[in-house]
């Protein structure tokens, strides 16, 4: 099966193809970005491979939320832990 692309798509080593002109909001296309991408749960990653990431990356000042959207770090509802979950942690006490 052949795929016919009318736009300038770029494919990575996993055959994941994207249109560099169609990055979501607050992100831009990069051919060799760091594979260490900042997230709400890990905004300042330090242990990174030297492998290039091909695709849309968050602009400066933005991080990935748990749905892979680029948002400002200050907009993350929970910074740290919980595997990137964006939950507000509220304790409820049951009184009997």
* 28-35 contacts, C-beta under 8 A, 24 or more apart: 28/56, 28/57, 28/59, 29/55, 29/56, 29/57, 30/54, 30/55, 30/56, 30/57, 33/57
Give pLDDT, residue 6: 53
pLDDT at 78: 60
pLDDT tens for the 96 residues of the chain, in order: 445 545 578 877 777 787 878 899 999 999 899 889 999 999 999 888 888 888 899 999 999 999 999 999 999 986 444 444 444 433 334 444
- All structural domains of the chain: 24-84 (2.10.25.10)
């Amino acid at each position: 099966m052949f795929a016919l692309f009318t736009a300038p798509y770029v494919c990575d080593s996993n055959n994941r193809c994207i249109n560099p002109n169609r990055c979501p909001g607050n992100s831009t296309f990069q051919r060799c970005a760091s594979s260490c991408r900042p997230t709400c749960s890990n905004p300042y990653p330090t242990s990174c491979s030297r492998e290039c990431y091909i695709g849309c990356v968050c602009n400066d000042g933005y991080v990935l939320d748990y749905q892979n959207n680029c948002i400002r770090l200050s907009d993350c509802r929970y910074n740290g832990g919980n595997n990137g979950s964006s939950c507000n942690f509220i304790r409820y006490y049951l009184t009997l």
